[in-house]
Structure 1
Amino acid sequence: METSDATGVHLEEAMVLGRGTLLLAGAAIVACMVLLGPSTPSGALFARSLPVEAAKDVVPGRVMTWNICNPCDARNVDRAAEIATYAPQVIGLQEACVRDVEGIRDHLARRHGLVYHVAYGTVLRNWGRCGGAPWSPGAYGQAILSAAPMTDRVSVEYPDGGSEDRGYVAVTTTVGGKPTRVFNTHLAQRRQEAVRAGQVDVLAADVDRHDRAIVLGDFNAVPDAPELTGMWALAADTDRHCPPSSAGTCEPTTDWRSKFDYIFLRGIASLEHGVHPTPHSDHHLLHADLDPTRGEGIQQALPTSVAFTASRPSADRQGG
C-alpha cells in the first residue's frame, strides 16, 4: 500500500508539473505573438485596426501622392496602414528609400491584401537617409506603386537638383480603365526658386507630350509661386478651389500650413479629393478620385495678376 500511495503522489506531482509546463509554454507563445506580430495575411488579432470607413480593396480611379518624410521616425507598417485606409489605384511616394518602399509594399500585400507593382525613380545613394553599408548606401528618390502593371518607365535626374539631387519618374499604366501617363516628382527644397523653375521646365516638356497625364509630387512651392507657371499652363490641380489666384481657397498639405503637394491632371477630370494629416510624416496624404469618362483638366487659365492669400511657409521650415 505504501508503494501504491507513493506512486499516486508521484503521478499527481507529474501531472501538476505537466500542467505548469503547458501554461508556461502557452504564455511564452502568446508573448512571442505579441512581440513579433501576426503571421496571417489579414493581421488578425494583433494588426493595427483600420478605421471603419477604410477601403477593403483598391479603389479604381483613385490616385494619391505622399512625401513620406525622410529621415523620420516612422515605421513602414504604419505607412502601409495609412495607404491601405484609402487604397488608391496609384500612389506616388517622395523621399523614399528602396528598402522602405519594399517594406511598405510587403505590408500592403500581407496585412491588407493590396497588391502593387513598383517603379523606382531613385536619384542618389545616401547612407544618412537610407542606411545600408557605408560603401553601398541605400537608393533614395521617388517611387510609383500601381495596382495595374506599368510600362515605359523613365527615370530622369534634373540637370540642377539644387542642394540635393532631385528628379522624376514616369510610367504608363491603367487608371480608371484607361492608359495614362503618370509622373512623380520632388522639386528642390527651401529658397531655391530659380532651381525649381528650371526643373519645372524639364518636367513640363515631358508632360506636354501626353494628352492624358497625371503629375504627382511635392513641388515645394505654393500655388502662386512663379516657378509653377509652366505646370499650370499644362494641367489643373485636382482641387478646383485652388487655382493660382487670390480667388482660391487652398487646403494646406503640410504641417506648417502650406500647400506644397499636388495632383495635376491633364486630359482627366477630378470628381473629388481629400487631404489627410498623418502622424507619420510632415506632409499629409493627398488623394483624388478621377472620372475616366471626362477629359477636363487640360489647362488652367492663369490670371493676369497672381496673388495667393494662403499662409506662406515660415523662414525656418520651407519643405524638404
Structure 2
Amino acid sequence: MTVTCMVLIGPSAPGDVFLSRSLPAEAAEDIVPNRVMTWNICNPCGAGNAGRAAEIARYAPQVVGLQEACVRDVEKIRDYLKGLHGLDYHVEYGTVLRNRGRCGGWPWRPGAFGQAILSAAPMTDRVNVEYPDGGSEDRGYLAVTTAVGGRPTRVFNTHLAQRRQEAVRAEQTGVLAKAVARHDRAIVLGDFNAVPHTPELTGMWSLAADADPHCRPSPTGTGPTGSGVTGTGVCETTTDWHAKFDYVFLRDFVPLKHGVRPSPYSDHHLLHTDLAPAPTPRTSRRASPTAVRPPAGAPRSG
C-alpha cells in the first residue's frame, strides 16, 4: 500500500521529483552481483532523492557506499530503489554528526549525517568508527561483513577530512589502514579527498590496489602520473573539478571493468566496478557478472 501511494501521489519531500519505472535503455534491469559502487551524494546540494535513486538503479550494484549521507535521504533513496526500480537493499548507517543544517529535522532531533552502505545481501558485524580528529567536520568509517563473490568480505566506507587538511587525512588513513589490514579479503569504498600521489594515501596503497588497474601513485610521489588530471591516461577523474578523490580499494579481488559517470545530482561522479575473487590454483581469473534476483524466500531488507 505504501509503494502504491508513493507511485500515485509522488514523494512529499521538497526537492524530490517523481520518476517513472522506466530507465534508459542501457540501465541494468536487476541487481548485478559482484558490482560495487562508491558515491559522495553531496550534501547539502538540494538534490532529489528520486533522481539519486535512478542514478544508482542505472548500474544496480550489489554493494553501494554513500558519503555525505543523511539517514532520512538514504531511507527515501532505498524506498525509491525498491518501489520504482524493483531493487531491494539492506542498509547500514555510519553516522558521525547530528546537524540540522546538514540534514534538517527539529532542533531537538537534528538529522544524522555520515556514511551508509546498501547491500543486496545481508550485512553483519557493523562497526562505526569516528576518527579521533575529523578536521573541520566530524568524519569516520563504517565497516560491515557481507557476501561478495560468494565469500564473506569486509566492506569499508569512509570519508576523509576536507581538502587542505593533509596532516589530518594522514592520521585518518592510518586508523583506517590498521583496520583494513586485519582482513585478507576487503573492499574499501570512499571519498578520500586526496589525489593518488599524495603522501596521506601511502598507507592504503601499501595494502590494496585501486579498481582502476591503470591508476597508481607515481614512483616519485609527484608529477602527473596518478595525479588524476584528465589526459594523463592514468587515473580517471571523479569530481567536477577534474581530480580523482574517490576510490575502490581491493584486497583479494581483481577488477573486471570499471566506469565513472558524472551526475547532475552531485559534484562527485558515480564510480562503479565489477569484481572477481583473486585467482588461486582452483579458481579462474575470468568471471561474468550476471543479473539475478535473490532466491525466493531469501531474507528481506532489515
Which TM-score bucket, shorter chain as reference? 0.7 to 0.9
User: Which residue does 1:305 correspond to in 2?
Assistant: none
TM-score, structure 2 as length reference? 0.82
User: Which residue does 1:192 correspond to in 2?
Assistant: 165
Distance 1:46 1:186 in 2: 29
User: Which residue does 1:232 correspond to in 2?
Assistant: 205
1:91: how far off? 0.2
User: Which residue does 1:121 correspond to in 2?
Assistant: 94
Name the amino acid aligned to 2:244.
K
Greater helix fraction, Structure 1 or Structure 2: 1
Partners of 2:94 and 2:114 within 8 A in 1: yes
CA-based RMSD of the aligned residues comes to 1.9
1:284-303 pair list within 5 angstroms: 284-292=269-277, 294=279
Say which SS state the counterpart of residue 112 (structure 1) adopts.
coil
1:163-202 pair list within 5 angstroms: 163-202=136-175
Q: Does 1:98 align with 2:55?
A: no
Q: Residues 33 and 182 from structure 1, CA distance in 2 versus in 1: closer, same or farther, beyond 3 angstroms?
A: closer
Residue 244 (structure 2) aligned to one of 259, 262, 268: 259
User: Which residue does 1:312 correspond to in 2?
Assistant: none
User: Which residue does 1:55 correspond to in 2?
Assistant: 28
Q: Does 1:161 align with 2:134?
A: yes
Kindly provide the CA deviation profile for residues 152-210 of structure 1, in whole angstroms up to 9, marking residues without a partner as x.
00000000000000000000001121110000000000210000000000000000000
Name the amino acid aligned to 2:27.
A
> Matched residue pairs, number?
258
Distance 2:8 2:181 in 1: 51
Residue 83 (structure 1) aligned to one of 56, 59, 68: 56
Distance 2:210 2:94 in 1: 23
Structure 2: which 5+ runs fail to align? 12-17, 219-223, 227-233, 281-302
Give runs of ≥4 in structure 1 deviating > 2 Å.
32-38, 292-295
Distance 1:113 1:126 in 2: 32
Identity of aligned residues (%): 76
Structure 1: which 5+ runs fail to align? 1-31, 39-44, 296-320
Partners of 2:262 and 2:268 within 8 A in 1: yes
Distance 2:192 2:167 in 1: 13
Name the amino acid aligned to 1:252.
T
Partners of 2:193 and 2:246 within 8 A in 1: yes
Q: Residues 173 and 33 from structure 1, CA distance in 2 versus in 1: closer, same or farther, beyond 3 angstroms?
A: closer
Partners of 1:34 and 1:46 within 8 A in 2: no
Partners of 1:124 and 1:165 within 8 A in 2: yes
Distance 2:7 2:275 in 1: 40
Partners of 1:254 and 1:284 within 8 A in 2: yes
Kindly provide the CA deviation profile for residues 31-72 of structure 1, in whole angstroms up to 9, marking residues without a partner as x.
x9998349xxxxxx9616311010011000000000000000
> Which structure has the higher relative contact order (CA within 8 Å, separation 6+)?
2
Kindly provide the CA deviation profile for residues 93-134 of structure 1, in whole angstroms up to 9, marking residues without a partner as x.
000000000000000000001000001000010000100001
User: Which residue does 1:12 correspond to in 2?
Assistant: none
Select the structure of larger CA radius of gyration: 1
1:82: how far off? 0.3
Q: Residues 34 and 168 from structure 1, CA distance in 2 versus in 1: closer, same or farther, beyond 3 angstroms?
A: closer
Say which SS state the counterpart of residue 97 (structure 2) adopts.
strand
User: Which residue does 1:273 correspond to in 2?
Assistant: 258
